Amino acid sequence: MDHFFSRDITLLTGPDKAQLLKDELGIHTYEDLLKHYPFRYEDRNNQSTVAALTPTTPGVQLQGYIKSLQKIDKGKKRLVALFEDNTGQLELIWFHNFSWIIKKIKPNVCYRVWGKPVFLPNGQKQLIHPEVVFYVENQEQKNSLVPLYHSTEKLKRNHLDTKGIAYFQKKLLSQLNTVIEETLPDYLLARYQLISLKGALHNIHFPSDPAALKQAQRRLKFEELFYLQLKLFKVRGVRVEKQTGKVFNNVSLLHTFYHNHLPFHLTNGQKEAIREIYRDLSSGKQMNRLLQGDVGSGKTIVAFLAMLVVIASKAQVAIMAPTEILAKQHLERFHIFAQQLNLNIALLTGSTKKKEREHVLYRLKVGLLHIIVGTHALLSDEVVFHELGFFIIDEQHRFGVAQRAGLLTKNQVYAPHILIMTATPIPRTLAMTFYGDLDLSTIYELPAGRQPIKTHHYYENARLKVFQFVREQLLLGRQVYIVYPLIEASAALDYSNLMAGYESVSRAFPNVPIGIIHGKMDSAAKDMEMKRFEKNETHILVTTTVIEVGVNVPNATIMLIESAERFGLSQLHQLRGRVGRGSAQSYCILMTDYRLNKAGKERMETMVKTNNGFEIAELDLKLRGPGDLMGLQQSGVLNLKIADLSKDTATLEVARKLAKHIIQQDPPLQHPANLPICKEYARLLAAAGEWNKIG
Ligand code: ADP
Ligand code: MG
């Protein structure tokens, strides 16, 4: 089907320019060009004077007279005009295409000129290649907001600078009126007071005034976010109706534990999270909830208290961790609690020995086990529950809908409740976008009395000082993590990198017991090393990011991160969260190369400046963009042209609710009123062909 949007740009620009636009800006179709929105607008109503110009003045508009015109043939051929307003004079200069200017310009006529001022060393001011507009008093100046488009050097050399692009936009827009169909139904335009697509496209490129521009932006952002949400709901599925779930409302065990065994006072955030979870468990609908809270915010105890509600009704609970180390730590912490309540708990991982495994599986199946802790091994078919009531997934916020659906088969009678926990705080906008089908609980605060971790950034020249500091902490009886980055391209290189690090650490701290954990070790060996560190048998642990999530050694007070520039912000923050778990002051030391790019520098500064995971997540979103943050970089899912997930929160919220509602009411999009949505959705699918990659 020939759709105006999908026409090849060649039809508009001719083959040479089309090729350039394709190569340089990825503009292949009419739609690509129309959605190559201006990045900024020059406000030409904003008039200045010659005297007021400074070297930092951006594009400026002046009003005055041209006193003289001089064609200079010597050296670089140019046309120089002397321009004067009632505050001073400056030169207007053209280097080419000036014969028409000579014809056009007359003395004693008032002109508006527009351009970017240049200051010569002698103080002389110039405008190079200004635009000159014949000025008539009181005539309303149309298009006072002039669009500026991103372009490239190569494009600029070929007349596709911002003006050249504007020219083609105009040409395209003039054809628009007859051919373009509205992409949102009338009832939505009316309900949200949105302007038409045609109007929006005209005004986004050539706004008649700032208010019209706002309207255009609002409409286009809404549309973009609406279709993004619609696609995500379509592809990932929306719980049209929340599934019925088993009612768990027996709080007897929870009360017993709360009043007799709870080792500390809960924070308000923890209490609220437990209330929200309890509300779900007792609601009769299946829970699908994401619990997010910064490292150390105390999600584990929240999970445990919630488990007790389920266990009190004789159903079983599973908790799955991403690594064996973490699973074991959970087991140990829960084991202490479980003993106090006479509950049976066991561990199941990929390396659980056959005999032990059979024993665990048997007890699970007949209902002797109340709690099972494990890794992905828990998902395997041989794991059969007597009655699985509650499945908790720790530190895996990317556990998707399909994977969750797999869990449901673990109980043939009813859908178990699901809680996903993450210490990777996700900005609210992203959470809404990607976990639209999850309810969200957030713990914002940390337990009281924690000393904030002090973070410092050093270059290699401070190495001696840093090592001296490490030595002092070791003398105080503290322990230290030293982390090396993973270089993904080569596992072997990684390993040698880490080994070289290990050797230099050994040389620097000759009498200190040092452990090492890396990806090539089998889990028994990793485990042993972790144990040794936990028991304070080793004082330094050299490692890769294996220890990233969840590990808890309160006596460790230094997190030294080598080549810190190679880590993302969220990852650095995760690593930092490994210290600061005891009462002593903890430190995070970031070592980097001298050559830091701007983003790298910004990451280090952010880490030094703030300990707040939510702030860091928001910044990470701004620095890296949502695609990268969510591991969706390549998928094109987040190829947003105008909306900004880190800013347009309110619009996103409205668009999301609407998309969900529409999919719920009219899943195949066949209601006559939704015809425009149906058409546009089909068009976007065909145009992108990318959507099947997610989910
Ligand atoms: P995370 O949210 O990162 O999983 P944890 O559940 O591992 O955090 O808790 C971190 C540490 O804080 C643990 O040692 C835990 O016992 C302790 N803790 C949790 N909640 C509180 C609280 N309300 N007061 C004091 N300490 C707490
Ligand atoms: Mg945790």
3-state secondary structure of 640: coil
Instruction: Indicate which atom in ligand 1 lies nearest the CA of residue 300.
Output: 6
Ligand closest to 303 (CA) is 1
Whole-number average pLDDT of the chain = 86
Query: Residue 605 in contact with residue 569, Cβ under 8 Å?
Result: no
Tokens of 480: 């230290």
Looking at residue 239, its pLDDT comes to 54
Instruction: Indicate which atom in ligand 1 lies nearest the CA of residue 554.
Output: 14
**pLDDT at residue 152 greater than cutoff 90:** no
Ligand closest to 552 (CA) is 1
Pocket test for ligand 1, best of 257, 258, 264 (most atoms within 8 A of CB): 264
Class of domain 252-443: alpha beta
CA distances from 293 to 290, 297, 382, 442, 675 (A): 10, 6, 33, 6, 42
Ligand 2 centre to CA of 423 (Å) is 7
CA distances from 568 to 15, 373, 542, 595, 631 (A): 42, 30, 20, 17, 12
Stretch (H or E) spanning 467: helix 463-475
Select the more confidently predicted residue: 381 or 492.
381
Nearest CA to ligand 1 atom 5: 298
Ligand closest to 583 (CA) is 1
Mean pLDDT is lowest, of 11-15, 280-284, 391-395, 492-496, for: 492-496
Instruction: Indicate which atom in ligand 1 lies nearest the CA of residue 423.
Output: 3
CA 280, 282, 283, 287 dihedral sign is: positive
Instruction: Indicate which atom in ligand 1 lies nearest the CA of residue 265.
Output: 23
Q: CATH number of the domain at 46-140, please?
A: 2.40.50.140
Nearest CA to ligand 1 atom 4: 299
Nearest CA to ligand 1 atom 16: 298
Ligand 2 centre to CA of 397 (Å) is 12
Q: Where are the beta strands (DSSP E) in 151-234?
A: none
Ligand 1 centre to CA of 339 (Å) is 19
Average pLDDT over residues 468-490: 87
Ligand closest to 327 (CA) is 2
Pocket test for ligand 1, best of 297, 304, 396, 578 (most atoms within 8 A of CB): 297
Residue 22, CB-side half-sphere exposure with 13 Å CA sphere = 13
- Banded pLDDT at 630 (limits 50, 70, 90): low
Ligand 1 centre to CA of 547 (Å) is 17
> Dihedrals φ, ψ of 384, to 5°?
-120, 130
- Banded pLDDT at 156 (limits 50, 70, 90): confident
Instruction: Indicate which atom in ligand 1 lies nearest the CA of residue 299.
Output: 2
Query: Residue 485 in contact with residue 518, Cβ under 8 Å?
Result: no
CA angle 377, 379, 341 (to 5 degrees): 80
Name which of 216, 225, 173 is nearest 194 in CA terms: 216
Instruction: Indicate which atom in ligand 1 lies nearest the CA of residue 395.
Output: 4
Average pLDDT over residues 328-355: 94
Looking at residue 398, its pLDDT comes to 63
Ligand 2 centre to CA of 425 (Å) is 12
- Banded pLDDT at 116 (limits 50, 70, 90): confident
Stretch (H or E) spanning 422: strand 417-422
Looking at residue 635, its pLDDT comes to 41
Looking at residue 486, its pLDDT comes to 72
**pLDDT at residue 242 greater than cutoff 70:** no
Looking at residue 386, its pLDDT comes to 97
Ligand closest to 577 (CA) is 1
Name which of 73, 142, 150 is nearest 112 in CA terms: 142
Looking at residue 133, its pLDDT comes to 67
Nearest CA to ligand 1 atom 23: 266
- Banded pLDDT at 355 (limits 50, 70, 90): very high
Looking at residue 487, its pLDDT comes to 59
Ligand 1 centre to CA of 303 (Å) is 11
Ligand 1 centre to CA of 423 (Å) is 12
Query: Residue 44 in contact with residue 115, Cβ under 8 Å?
Result: no
Looking at residue 169, its pLDDT comes to 95
Taking only the tens place, the pLDDT of each residue in 522-580 is: 878 888 898 899 999 999 999 987 665 557 788 999 999 999 998 888 889 989 988 98
Q: Would the CATH topology of 252-443 be identical to that of 454-610?
A: yes
Ligand 2 centre to CA of 519 (Å) is 21
Ligand 1 centre to CA of 267 (Å) is 10
Looking at residue 688, its pLDDT comes to 67
Ligand 2 centre to CA of 404 (Å) is 20
**pLDDT at residue 211 greater than cutoff 60:** yes
CA distance 182 to 373: 54
Nearest CA to ligand 1 atom 11: 296
Select the more confidently predicted residue: 440 or 457.
457
3-state secondary structure of 623: helix
Q: For residue 137, how many other CB atoms are within 10 A of its CB?
A: 5
Mean pLDDT is lowest, of 59-73, 210-224, 295-309, for: 59-73
Pocket test for ligand 1, best of 265, 295, 299, 301 (most atoms within 8 A of CB): 301
Ligand closest to 301 (CA) is 1
CA distance 488 to 571: 15
CATH superfamily of 454-610: P-loop containing nucleotide triphosphate hydrolases (3.40.50.300)
Mean pLDDT is lowest, of 455-469, 511-525, 552-566, for: 511-525
Nearest CA to ligand 1 atom 24: 447
Taking only the tens place, the pLDDT of each residue in 379-423 is: 999 999 999 999 999 987 666 666 777 788 899 999 999 999 988
Looking at residue 632, its pLDDT comes to 46
Tokens of 551: 């590990």
**Which of 142-146, 186-190, 597-601 has the largest mean confidence?**
186-190
Average pLDDT over residues 134-159: 72
**pLDDT at residue 271 greater than cutoff 70:** yes
Ligand 2 centre to CA of 421 (Å) is 8
Pocket test for ligand 1, best of 266, 272, 274, 300 (most atoms within 8 A of CB): 300
Looking at residue 692, its pLDDT comes to 40
**pLDDT at residue 281 greater than cutoff 90:** yes
**pLDDT at residue 3 greater than cutoff 60:** yes
**pLDDT at residue 249 greater than cutoff 60:** yes
**pLDDT at residue 22 greater than cutoff 60:** yes
Pocket lining for ligand 1, CB < 6 angstroms: 264-267, 270, 293, 295-301, 423, 447, 552, 581
CA distance 246 to 240: 18
Ligand closest to 296 (CA) is 1
**pLDDT at residue 51 greater than cutoff 80:** yes
Select the more confidently predicted residue: 291 or 518.
291
Question: CB under 8 Å to 258, separation ≥6 — which residues?
Answer: 305
Mean pLDDT is lowest, of 328-337, 372-381, 488-497, 578-587, for: 488-497
Looking at residue 550, its pLDDT comes to 55
Ligand closest to 268 (CA) is 1
CA angle 149, 150, 152 (to 5 degrees): 130
Instruction: Indicate which atom in ligand 1 lies nearest the CA of residue 297.
Output: 2
Nearest CA to ligand 1 atom 19: 298
Nearest CA to ligand 1 atom 20: 298
**pLDDT at residue 638 greater than cutoff 50:** yes
Ligand 1 centre to CA of 300 (Å) is 7
Mean pLDDT is lowest, of 72-81, 533-542, 624-633, for: 624-633
- Banded pLDDT at 690 (limits 50, 70, 90): very low
Sequence spans of domains, the chain: 46-140, 252-443, 454-610
